[in-house]
Amino acid sequence: MPMKTRNDSNRSRAKQPQLTRREALSAPAVLLWAGQAHASAPDDPPWNAMGERVGEVTNTSAIVHTRLTELPKRNDNGYAYPCWSHALSYDERDALGIPPGLQIRDLQGACPGKAGRVRLHYGVESDLRGAQTTGWSAVGSETDFTHKFVLRGLQSGRRYYYSVEIAGLKGAVTRRGRIGTFATAPEADHWQPTRFFLITCQDYNCRDHPLGGFRIYEAMARLGGDFLLSNGDNVYYDIDVPVAKTVDLARHHWHRMYSQPLIMDLLYRMPAYWQKDDHDSFEDDDWPQRPPQRVKPMTYRQLAPVFAEQVPVGERMYRAVRWGKGLELFLVENRDFRSPNPMPDGPDKTIWGKEQFEWLKKSILQSDAQYRILVSPDAIVGPSFQDPEFRYPQGGGDCHADAAFGHEGNAFRQWVKNNHLTNFFVINGDRHWQYHSVDPDTGIREFGCGAATDTHSQSPPTDPRYHKFLRPKGGFLSLTLDGTESRPELTVRFHDVHGKVLKEFPITR
C-alpha cells in the first residue's frame, strides 16, 4: 500500500463527521447565529477577545502581545463551513470562499479589531501591587490592532504578573484585562529543574475539543511547565477554509485559533516561543519565490509577515534560548532563506542560508550548557517518506531528511559527528506521527512530537534502521530536566492528546 503524503485529502486514521463534497459545495450560505450586539460607541474602550501571550522570554526580557477587539468574545455563533476541509480537493476548497452576503466578521471564530490605546501593568506581585506601568500606545488597523510590549531589565529567574489596560482613542474610561503570568529564565550559570513542551500542526478543522479547541492545551496546563515551543504550522492558510487569499483572511486564521479558550488559558500562565513553517507562512512546501497555487493571488512576501504580526516574536527568526546552566535551545528558520525545492541538489542549495548555518554551528560550539537542543520545524534525521522531487502543486523534497536537500543535511549531520556533540539532539515538528529516530550514520537523535490531534495524524511505515519509537497518532512532547547540577537528568516523554505518557527516553550526555 503506498505511503500517504502530507497532501492526501484522506490523511486521517480517525473518522471525521462530514458532508459529501456535493453537499458541502452546494450548502446554502445561511447564518447560524443571530449576531452579537455592536452597541459600543466609537470612543468606548476596545476589548481583548484573544487575550495576551508572552514570548521570547530571556533572563532579563520578554515580549507581551495583545490585540484590541470590538467585542469581548470571539464570534462562536458565526457561520461554520459545513464540511471537513481534508475531504475536499484543493479546487473545492478554493470554491469555498466567504458565502455571499457575509463578511469575515460573520465567520465562526471572528474577532473584529477596534482602534484604541493600550498600556501594560507588570510586576512581581500576583495582585500587581507596586506594578510598573508602560506608556500608552495607540493601536490601529495598520498592525491589525495588535501591539507588542517589549519588557527589558527584568530580574532573572523571577515570576512576573501582568495585565493590559485598554482605552478608546478618546475619553478616560478604561478596561483591565485578565492577569497573566510568566517566569524569566535563570542566569546561564544557575542550575534549576525545568520542564517544557513541544507542539506542531494544529489544524483548526481538526480540533478535538468541541468547546475549547485542542485537548493538548488542557493536558499541558494540567502538567505545568516553564515554557512552550510552538514549532510551526500554527495555522493552515492553504488547507483550512476559507483559504487565505487575502491578508485579512490570513489574519482571520490566527484570530480564530488563538481566541479558543483552552489555548488562551494555557498562554495566560505559560510563555512560548513560536516558529513558522510552510502552512503558516504561505502554502505547503514553500520557499520565498514559489509561484502561488492554493492561496493565489497572494505571494510569500505578502503572507509570511503576518506571522510576526500575530505572535510575540522579535525581529530575527533564528535565535538561541538559554535556560540556566542546564539547557540551550537553538530555534532555526526554515522558510525565509531557502532555495527553491525543485533546484538540483548541491553545495549551493540550502534551507538555512549561509549566514544562519554559520550562526548555528558557531552558537552550538560556543554553548557551555549541559544539554544543547536544535529545535527545527522540519526533520533533520527523519526518515522523511516524502517524494524526493517537488511536484506542483502537491509538494515534496522539503526537509534535510529528503534527498532534495541531501547535501546540506549530510553536511550538518556529519559536522555534529565530527565535533563529538554527545550532549546534542534534535526535536522537531511537521511530521504527522510521533517518533524517535537515530541516524544510522552519525548517531544524531531526533524526536518528533506529532500533530496536535489524532485526526490530523498519518501512518508511516516503520524503518528499523532509524526508528526507536513510532506512533501514528497525535500528542506532544515534554522535556524535563531534573536530578542535580552535578548529575543532571534530561528525559524526553511522548504524550497522547490527553497527556498520558506513552514512552520516555532518558538522554545521556
Euclidean distance between CA atoms 258 and 50, whole angstroms: 6
pLDDT value of position 342: 93
pLDDT-derived band at 398, boundaries 50, 70, 90: very high
Contact (Cβ atoms closer than 8 angstroms) between residue 426 and residue 439: no
**Residue 340: which region, alpha, beta or left (left: phi > 0; alpha: psi -120 to 50)?**
beta
pLDDT value of position 40: 63
CA distances from 174 to 38, 169, 304 (A): 18, 11, 34
Q: Give residue 325's Cα distance to chain centre.
A: 26
Q: Say which residue, 488 or 210, is predicted with more confidence.
A: 488
> pLDDT tens for residues 10-67?
333 334 433 343 433 333 333 333 344 455 677 799 999 999 999 999 999 999 999 9
Contact (Cβ atoms closer than 8 angstroms) between residue 493 and residue 478: yes
Q: What are the residue ranges spanned by the domains of the chain?
A: 31-74+109-182, 185-507
pLDDT value of position 41: 72
Q: What percentage of the chain carries pLDDT values higher than 90?
A: 84
Per DSSP, the three-state class of 456 is: helix
Contact (Cβ atoms closer than 8 angstroms) between residue 263 and residue 214: yes
Longest dimension (CA), the chain: 67
Residues 6+ apart with CB under 8 A from 501: 493, 494, 495
Euclidean distance between CA atoms 69 and 164, whole angstroms: 13
- The stretch 421-432 carries a mean pLDDT of 96
Phi and psi of 424, rounded to 5°? -125, 140
Q: Give residue 338's Cα distance to chain centre.
A: 19
Q: Is residue 158 exposed (0-12), middle (13-18) or buried (19+ Cβ within 10 Å)?
A: middle
pLDDT value of position 31: 34
Euclidean distance between CA atoms 306 and 54, whole angstroms: 17
> pLDDT tens for residues 334-362?
999 999 999 999 999 999 999 999 999 99
At which residue does the C-alpha cell 510563555 appear? 271
pLDDT value of position 91: 87
Which of these CATH numbers, 1.10.10.10, 1.10.3720.10, 2.60.40.380, 3.40.50.740, describes 31-74+109-182?
A: 2.60.40.380
Per DSSP, the three-state class of 113 is: strand
| All three cell numbers of 159 | 515570576
Fold of 185-507: Purple Acid Phosphatase; chain A, domain 2 (3.60.21)
- Is the whole-model pTM more than 0.85? yes
**Residue 426: which region, alpha, beta or left (left: phi > 0; alpha: psi -120 to 50)?**
beta
Q: Does the pLDDT of residue 265 top 60, yes or no?
A: yes
Asked whether the CA dihedral 247, 452, 323, 373 is positive or negative, the reply is: negative
Q: What percentage of the chain carries pLDDT values higher than 70?
A: 92
Contact (Cβ atoms closer than 8 angstroms) between residue 134 and residue 166: no
Q: Give residue 427's Cα distance to chain centre.
A: 14
Read out DSSP for 166-186? EE-SSSS-EEEPPPEEEEPPP
Contact (Cβ atoms closer than 8 angstroms) between residue 210 and residue 219: no
Euclidean distance between CA atoms 491 and 482, whole angstroms: 8
Euclidean distance between CA atoms 379 and 398, whole angstroms: 9
Euclidean distance between CA atoms 23 and 87, whole angstroms: 12
Q: Does the pLDDT of residue 424 top 70, yes or no?
A: yes
pLDDT value of position 51: 98
> pLDDT tens for residues 463-493?
999 999 999 999 999 999 999 999 999 999 9
Q: Does the pLDDT of residue 190 top 60, yes or no?
A: yes
CA proximity to 284, closest of 172, 370, 201: 201
Average pLDDT, the chain: 91
Q: Does the pLDDT of residue 5 top 60, yes or no?
A: no
Euclidean distance between CA atoms 115 and 342, whole angstroms: 44
User: Which H or E run includes 319?
Assistant: strand 319-323
According to DSSP, the residues that pair with 504 across neighbouring strands are 493
> pLDDT tens for residues 82-94?
888 889 988 899 8
pLDDT-derived band at 394, boundaries 50, 70, 90: confident
At which residue does the C-alpha cell 531589565 appear? 153
pLDDT value of position 185: 98
Per DSSP, the three-state class of 494 is: strand
Helix runs in 286-431, H state only: 300-303, 305-310, 354-366, 406-418
Euclidean distance between CA atoms 443 and 466, whole angstroms: 10
